[in-house]
């Protein structure tokens, strides 16, 4: 049997996305408390994510949401990594408050944010090991968060995965606003 690489790209991208989720799961966590959630979206869900990003642009006016919305359509998969909010009780002051009890509602525990960053770093390192193209996107993560695809997560980042001749996530041109 002959396997053409072009015929296997989607399968390979999904395989790497699964490995990335494993890397995020096994990444070190503050106090050893696992508050990380991961998922991978493919196919039509990527289109839904793109549309949500365009809707967010209509609200926030940030043009990079439009550019990224088009950009993720070049991905075979998008890995989502988020964190469920949990006060770690360290009274470390890293969030800007002297004690956890002083923290105002809506201010995330800094340890939660650090945990999602470490998980994203581990996932991206795994993608690099497989030589697939990725880019961490706040915009797509916020759209996934708005879609509630990682239930209970407040801080979500997205990592589109592409297997192509050229990385579609770099050398990107700003998207023009067609509302003029």
For residue 97, give the 3-state DSSP assignment. Answer: coil
Q: What is the pLDDT of residue 178?
A: 56
Span 157-172, pLDDT tens digits: 999 999 999 989 887 7
**pLDDT over 70 percentage in the chain:** 96
Which pLDDT belongs to residue 155?
A: 94
Supply the pTM of this predicted model: 0.92
Phi, psi of 159 (to 5 degrees): -130, 100
pLDDT of 175 over the 70 cut: no
For residue 33, pLDDT beyond 70: yes
pLDDT on residue 50: 98
- So what's the pLDDT on residue 176? 65
| Distance of alpha carbon 108 from alpha carbon 115, whole angstroms | 12
pLDDT digit string, tens, across residues 94-123: 999 999 999 998 899 999 999 999 999 999
pLDDT in the model for residue 12 = 97
| Full DSSP string of 99-168 | SGGGPPTTPPPHHHHHHHHHHHHHHHHHHHHTT-EE--BHHHHHHHHHTTSSTT-SEEEEEEEE-SSS-T
Q: For position 171, what pLDDT does the model report? A: 76
For 49-68, how does the pLDDT look when each residue is reduced to its tens digit (9 = 90+)?
999 999 999 999 999 999 99
Structural domains of the chain in order of their starting residue, each with its CATH number: 32-162 (3.40.109.10)
Look at residue 125 and tell me whether its pLDDT is greater than 80.
yes
Provide the mean pLDDT of the chain: 94
What pLDDT is attached to residue 177?
59
All residues at 6 or more sequence positions from 10 whose CB lies less than 8 Å from its CB, including other chains: 42, 76
Structure confidence at residue 16 as a pLDDT band (50, 70, 90): very high
Task: Tell me the C-alpha to C-alpha distance, in Å, between residue 83 and each of 80, 113, 134, 166.
Answer: 10, 7, 20, 31
pLDDT at 180 over 70: no
Q: What is the 3-state secondary structure (H, E, C) of 19-86?
A: HHHHHHHHCCCHHHCCCEEEEEECCHHHHHHHHHHHHHHHHHCCHHHHHHHHHHHHCCEEEEEEECCC
CA atoms within 13 A on the CB side of 162: 18
């Amino acid at each position: 049997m002959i396997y053409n690489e072009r015929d296997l790209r989607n399968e390979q991208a999904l395989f790497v996305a699964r490995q990335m989720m494993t890397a995020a799961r096994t990444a070190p966590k503050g106090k050893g408390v696992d508050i990380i959630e991961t998922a991978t979206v493919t196919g039509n869900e990527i289109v839904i994510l793109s549309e949500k990003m365009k809707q967010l642009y209509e609200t926030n006016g940030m043009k990079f949401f439009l550019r990224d919305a088009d950009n993720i359509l070049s991905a075979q998969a998008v890995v989502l990594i988020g964190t469920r909010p949990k006060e770690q009780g360290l009274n470390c002051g890293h969030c800007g408050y002297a004690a956890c009890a002083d923290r105002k509602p809506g201010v995330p525990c800094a340890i939660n944010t650090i945990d999602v960053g470490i998980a994203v770093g581990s996932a991206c390192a795994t993608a690099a090991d497989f030589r697939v193209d990725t880019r961490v996107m706040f915009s797509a993560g916020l759209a996934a968060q708005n879609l509630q695809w990682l239930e209970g997560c407040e801080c979500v980042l997205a990592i589109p995965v592409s297997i192509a001749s050229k990385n579609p996530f770099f050398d990107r041109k700003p998207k023009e606003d067609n509302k003029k």
